[in-house]
């Protein structure tokens, strides 16, 4: 079973688009040298239509709002034939991290 640092390395090496909720989430991941990140902005249907990749990683917060947004994005993207890679999100549920923007502080305590 991978640990958090192995997952981060996998995200760094990934060529897949990583979708997060907001600017702070994107900045937190960029501090870890993770690239190819896009945050949700504007009307959701337009955001979904702007995605051109065949597979994406959804890294949304694990709180109530993040779960709702995850469900909407997942449904909308899948309707367009886009595959959702949820392995990292599934791993996050096994941690105490609930906000992506807090990942750097979490790592310091890890």
What's the token pair of residue 25? 């989430």
Place of tokens 């990749």: 53
pLDDT tens across 47-66, in order? 999 999 999 999 999 999 99
3-class SS shares of the chain: helix, strand, coil, % to 5: 50, 15, 35
Which pLDDT score is estimated for 1? 65
Which long-range contacts (C-beta less than 8 Å, at least 24 apart) are formed by 72-75?
72/44, 73/19, 73/40, 73/44, 73/48
Residue 82 structural domain: 4-109
Tell me the whole-structure pTM to 2 decimals. Answer: 0.94
Is pLDDT of 110 > 80?
Answer: no
Q: How many domains does the chain have?
A: 1
Per-residue pLDDT tens over the stretch 29-50: 999 999 999 999 999 999 999 9
- Helix or strand (DSSP H, E) at 65: helix 64-79
- Say which CATH number the domain at 33 has: 3.40.1360.10
| Per-residue pLDDT at 11 exceeds 70 | yes
């Amino acid at each position: 079973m991978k640990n958090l640092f192995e997952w981060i390395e996998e995200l760094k090496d990934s060529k897949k688009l990583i979708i997060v909720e907001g600017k702070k989430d994107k900045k937190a991941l960029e501090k870890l040298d993770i690239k190819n990140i896009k945050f949700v902005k504007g009307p959701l249907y337009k955001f979904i239509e702007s995605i051109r990749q065949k597979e994406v990683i959804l890294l949304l917060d694990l709180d109530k709002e993040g779960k709702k947004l995850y469900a909407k994005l997942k449904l909308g993207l899948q309707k367009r034939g886009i595959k959702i890679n949820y392995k990292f999100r599934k791993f996050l549920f096994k941690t105490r991290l609930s906000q992506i923007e807090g990942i750097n502080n979490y790592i310091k305590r890890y």
